[in-house]
Amino acid sequence: MIGYDHTSERYVAHWMDIYGGRFSGTLGYGVRSENQIEFVFEYGDGPFRSVFRRLADKNQWQWLMTTKNNHERWLEFASLMLTRDLPMH
């Protein structure tokens, strides 16, 4: 779930996924910069980023997720391309 908090002027994300209730209790906060929104989740075992980048020329979104390892380096967790599924005529 993604929404915008007008009071803090930032986006808020609440992921509901297969990793269970403990992880879904951490909210991600994000800001928009041109064609992307970057969310940062401050988990107990380290930060996690989710970046949504709109590729207007392709009518797609890139979703890149990274996590910081013990050596303070950002590593790719997953990368997806999101496209709209248009109905068949």
Contacts of 21 (CB under 8 A, 6+ apart): none
* pLDDT single digits (tens) 43-89: 888 899 999 999 999 989 999 999 998 888 999 999 999 998 776 66
Is the CB of residue 50 less than 8 Å from the CB of residue 63?
yes
Q: What is the DSSP letter of 71?
A: T
Task: Give me the residue label for tokens 């997953």.
Answer: 78
The pLDDT, as a whole number, for residue 25 is 73
